[in-house]
Structures are given as C-alpha cells and as structure tokens.
A = this chain, B = another copy of it.
Amino acid sequence: MTAYDQRREHVLDGCAQVFAEKGYDSASIRDIARAVEMSAGGLYHYCSNKQDLLYQVCDRAFRSLIARLEEGLSHVDDPQERLYTVFVTHLTYFLDRPDELITLTENLSSLTPPGSAKIRELQRCYYDIVSGVLASFPGITATSLRVATMTLFGSINWVHTWYRRGIDGGADELARVMTDLFLNGLAPAYKCSPSSPKHVD
C-alpha cells in the first residue's frame, strides 16, 4: 500500500466519523478537514468532491462487510448457524467500525448518481447473500422471504440507535438473542416440542 493510499484511508476514516456524527448534509468539508488534520483544499487530492467522499466511504465499508460475511459463511453449513453468522458478522463489524456502519445506514440516501447505482449494487449483493441464508429455511415463501430479509436488515440497521457500549452485551451475545428471535419467535411456549433448542452456539 502506497503512502498515498494510507493517507487516503486516513481521510476516509475521518469522513466516516464526521458523517456518522453529523450526517452527510450537515458535515462540512472543513469539519472533515479538521478531523483529518488537513486543509480543506488538501482533501481534494483524495476525492473529486464531497459526494465522492461519501461514495468512497460507503464503497469501502460495503466491500469489507461483504468480504467478512462471505468469509464467515464459507465455514458454516447449518442454516441456523449460518443465520447466526449473519448476525454476528454484522454486529461485530458494527462494534468494530461503528462510524462506517452508521454512515452506511443513515446516509445512503444522500448518495447521488452515478455512485449511488454502484453502491446499490453492493447493497443488492449483500442482500442476496443474506436472503440466500434465509431461503434455506423450509416453508418460507417468496413473499415472506422478502419480508423476512428486510425485517432482518431493519433489525440490525437499527441497533446503532439503541446499543449502549459496555451495557448491552457483546456482538456474540446480541447475535444469539436475535438469532433465537428470528428462529423461534416470541411464542415458543405454544410450541409443543419440550426440547427445542433456543439458540445456536
């Protein structure tokens, strides 16, 4: 990795932080410059404009998120365990690099063409992977597959609004609870199997 690329990574880190904190629209180029400890003009060596910074942050974040998920799933076959892998991978990424995931969740709608189309493709890719995991559960219909996938995304994309660091448990614990909810629902008591497994671990 060249020195330029390292500097560029640093710039994107700063962008993610500022975008996550203030939102894309409220974040000014000077805010970012301050966070990166560089002049505003200097930033333009690493992007063509402000919108491009958002694009780069989203692109980088989605690619590593997908890579992690693909890596994680490549070792697991059981549907229930695969579902857990989806949760735990996403939540681990969130706890790891919260600013990037928050930017991704909250500022995707600020993307404009042509970058927005490229990011939407990555989003679609991520969607397909997760959807594929859910599709392996028997008895799921086309309609309920879409709803279930979107519901799952809603669940994990909402986490940053309520998660309290140090209080709400780690990624694995949270992933276990959410996996259980998605697998068994709230009414397991009504189910007759006395020994149904509550969660995967």
Contact = CB atoms under 8 A, between A and B. Distances in A.
A139 interface: yes
A159 B157 CA distance: 12
A199 B80 contact: yes
Contact of A181 (B168, B172, B185): B185
A187 B150 contact: no
A105 to B, nearest CB: 10
A186 to B, nearest CB: 4
A198 B180 CA distance: 6
Contact of A186 (B137, B150, B155, B158): B137
Contacts of A187: 80, 137, 183-184
Given A23-B110, A26-B25, A139-B189, A198 B184 contact: yes
Interface stretch (A1-9, A29-37, A46-54, A140-148): A140-148
A48 to B, nearest CB: 14
Contacts of A150: 155, 158-159, 161-162
> What copy number does this chain have within its complex?
4
Contacts of A74: none
A200 B156 CA distance: 18
A160 to B, nearest CB: 10
Interface centre among A153, A159, A177, A184 (most CB of B within 10 A): A184
A111 to B, nearest CB: 12
Given A137-B187, A185-B182, A186-B83, A151 B143 contact: no
Contacts of A162: 146, 150
- Which of A106, A109, A134, A155 counts the most B-chain CB atoms under 10 A from its CB? A155
18 contacts: A23-B25, A26-B110, A78-B200, A80-B197, A84-B199, A85-B200, A139-B188, A139-B189, A143-B169, A143-B177, A150-B158, A151-B158, A154-B159, A157-B158, A176-B200, A179-B200, A185-B188, A191-B192
